[in-house]
Chain A
Amino acid sequence: MSAQPSTATRRPSRFARVPLLVWVFLLVPLVVELFWVFWPAANSFSLALTRWDGIGLAEPVGLQNFRDLAADPIFLTALQNNVIWVLGFGGLSVVGGLALAVTLNKPGPMVSLYRSAIYLPMVVSLAVSGLFWRVMYAPDGPINGTLGLLGLGQLERQWLADPAVALWAVLIAAVWRQVGYIMVLYLAGLKGTDGSLEEAAAVDGANAWQRFWRIVMPQLRGVNMVVFAVTVIDSLRTFDIVWAMTRGGPYNETQLLSTYMFQQAFTTGNLGYASAIAVVIFALAIGFIITYLARQARTED
């Protein structure tokens, strides 16, 4: 960005410097989002201070819901699982997506086919993805079958019913789907990088790893910010694939914050409690994103 005048001395003219059209450009989408997202969200947050079954009247209970959450073992399990999810699902899909984007960032019909194959899981609906993975993980399904064939029979287990591995089993399925999405974001970013810089570095003797970390990655800073935000948001919002595969079971061992929230809202009918969980999710997401992005924005400006 070219140098901007200091706000201390030029404050009044800032508004005049921005053309009316641009204000319209900004305000229309902003108002749309405020109306459709923030108003319902604020409504939901205010519900966090009540006890409501969705049918009768909401009864204000102050911070009781949050006190109950702190003592709720299922909530604490869900929180722990979500941390694992953010690190595992987030980490694996970003590393995988970046690696695949870099590897497949070439022309050619075969490469085009590989890219499409990696992205293909995204085009299938989540419910159906959940279905095929359920079958993959079935006790007499392909995964156990392959382990048996490879002589690793003692590793066979009931993947989705064994609390020790169920979360990881679902995580693999979710990563399988997410990697294509991250790959697409990085491909778009790589398209904007300058190949000649890299070639110059290659001529100067930098190896592939150095070229990647020192030349390409800095140019991907904008994309990295986006991918980080996307990963945190998606990790905290994951719902469909866990719900389709395990419904949060076995006995609540694979609950994530969003599945527990859904269960509390629509099965148990505790909309106030569910809203409190939503506030926690929001706070976590805001925490990650604000700190990281605010830091990024400051260094970039």
Chain B
Amino acid sequence: MSALAPPAADAPAAVRDRPAPRLRRPRPARSPWLHVAMVPVTLLWLSPIVFVLFVAVRSYDDIAGRGLGALPASFSLDGFATALTQGGVLRSLGNSVLVTVCAVVASLALSSFAAYALSRFDIPFRRTILLTMLAGNLLPPQILLVPVSSITEAIGIGDTLTALVVVQVGFGIGFYTFVLHGFMRSLPDEVFEAARLDGAGPGGIFWRIVLPLSRPSLAALAALATTWIFNDLIWAMTVLRTEAKFPITAALLNLQGGFASAWNVVAAGALIAAVPTAIVFFLFQKQFVSGLLVGANK
């Protein structure tokens, strides 16, 4: 992914011999075929979500009487009202936001430390360490519920949001380190040499060179991590017991009745819960998407 990565050995000769300039030039107008293809795909892609919206604005009796699949015959904001007041949705949204922000910041910070150390320094067994860290993510979390809850209790943070943050960080680090390692390895050596010659220490290089250059991957990971941590249910259930501390995923699950589910309330709650992650994605998009036309063009 470096600007200076060599082209493939079988690329046309003119490309191989040409020195790689750092400038990128914008391309002229796009063809309409892109839109012709993407508009139906987008509509199809969004249809399940549009459906959730339909369900959210129907009344319970409409759904019970005519089925979930029927088009709405009623319009009612009862679903949203119930979700916001009865489900404790706002409070659990707050819990989710708090846990997500802390966990994403902490895990990306720790992962970038580890990735920096493993990718740019001659640490013994660094490949093994990296693979070992990744191996931590290879297990399905369901099997770890019992030991993790014993541990959180044994160290005294059972049933607290701190425990949830710590568990999320612990479980994410391996993967984020692996991804960031991949990106950091391909940063150009010349930049590091120059900084070292200027007398910068490893901490300074990290802060002033590596982090800014890693912004696309950090932004992409931040968007992904936010989605995962925000949408996590299983760790919340393992670590937390008190309903007031539940994040939004657990609160939404409670909205689904044990016997009879008020699907309009569930759908409304799900839409409310989707808003924060959607916002994060929109905001971070610019960071990891190229501003110019790069890649296969029409």
Contacts and interface: CB of A to CB of B under 8 A. Distances in A.
Does a CB–CB distance below 8 Å link A and B in the complex? yes
A51 to B, nearest CB: 15
Interface of A: 1-2, 4, 14-15, 17-19, 21-26, 28-30, 32-33, 35-41, 43-44, 54, 101-108, 110-129, 131-133, 135-136, 138, 140-142, 176, 181, 184-185, 187-206, 208-209, 211-212, 214-220, 222-223, 225-226, 229-230, 233, 236-237, 239-240, 257-258, 261-262, 265, 271, 274-275, 277-278, 281-282, 285-286, 289-290, 293-294, 297, 300
Nearest to A297: B127
Chain B CB count within 10 A is highest, among A115, A193, A197, A293, for A197
Interface string B211-229: 0000011011001100100
A300 B186 CA distance: 10
Contact of B140 (A54, A211, A226, A258): A258
A29 B289 CA distance: 29
A29 B82 CA distance: 42
A257 B219 CA distance: 33
Interface in B11-57: 11-12, 14-15, 18, 20-21, 23-25, 30, 34-35, 37-38, 41-42, 45-49, 51-52
A278 to B, nearest CB: 4
B174 to A, nearest CB: 6
B140 A2 contact: no
A262 B297 CA distance: 46
A222 B144 contact: no
Given A33-B174, A258-B140, A197 B216 contact: no
Nearest to A15: B124
Contacts of B246: none
Nearest to A46: B147
Given A181-B224, A211-B296, A265 B111 contact: no
Nearest to A35: B170
B258 interface: no
A185 to B, nearest CB: 6
Nearest to A240: B233
A64 B169 CA distance: 35
Contacts of B121: 17-19, 22
B296 A200 contact: no
Nearest to A133: B48
For the complex of A and B, list the 8 residue pairs with the smallest distance between their C-beta atoms, beginning with the closest.
Answer: A36-B170, A192-B1, A40-B147, A25-B113, A188-B220, A26-B117, A285-B138, A123-B277
21 contacts: A2-B189, A21-B203, A22-B202, A33-B136, A37-B144, A40-B151, A107-B291, A110-B38, A112-B285, A115-B289, A122-B281, A133-B48, A136-B51, A191-B290, A194-B20, A196-B21, A196-B24, A204-B14, A212-B295, A218-B6, A237-B140
Contacts of B117: 18, 22-23, 25-26
Contacts of B144: 37, 40-41, 44
Given A197-B20, A229-B178, A128 B270 contact: yes
Given A19-B121, A25-B113, A106-B30, 8 more contacts: A105-B293, A107-B292, A138-B67, A187-B290, A194-B3, A215-B8, A217-B8, A289-B134
A112 B42 CA distance: 12
B73 interface: no
Interface in B262-295: 263, 266-267, 270, 273-274, 277-278, 281-282, 285, 288-295
Contact of A226 (B182, B270, B278, B289): B182
Given A220-B1, A262-B142, A196 B216 contact: no
Contacts of B298: 208
Contacts of A44: 139, 143-144, 146-147
Contacts of A300: 185
Interface in B180-195: 182-183, 185-186, 189
- If over half of A's interface residues share one DSSP class (helix, strand or loop), that class is named, otherwise mixed; here it is helix
B108 to A, nearest CB: 11
Contacts of A117: 42, 45-46
Contacts of A187: 220, 288-290
A95 B20 CA distance: 29
B81 interface: no
Given A22-B121, A192-B2, A218-B7, A233 B138 contact: yes
B143 A261 contact: yes
B60 interface: no
Chain B CB count within 10 A is highest, among A120, A136, A217, A220, for A120
A80 B215 CA distance: 40
Given A185-B220, A192-B216, A222-B183, A1 B189 contact: yes
Interface in B198-257: 201-203, 206, 216-217, 219-220, 223-224, 227, 231, 233, 249, 252-253, 256
B214 to A, nearest CB: 10
Contacts of B116: 22, 25
B62 to A, nearest CB: 14
B114 interface: yes
A286 B138 contact: yes
Contacts of A218: 5-8
B10 A189 contact: no
B6 to A, nearest CB: 8
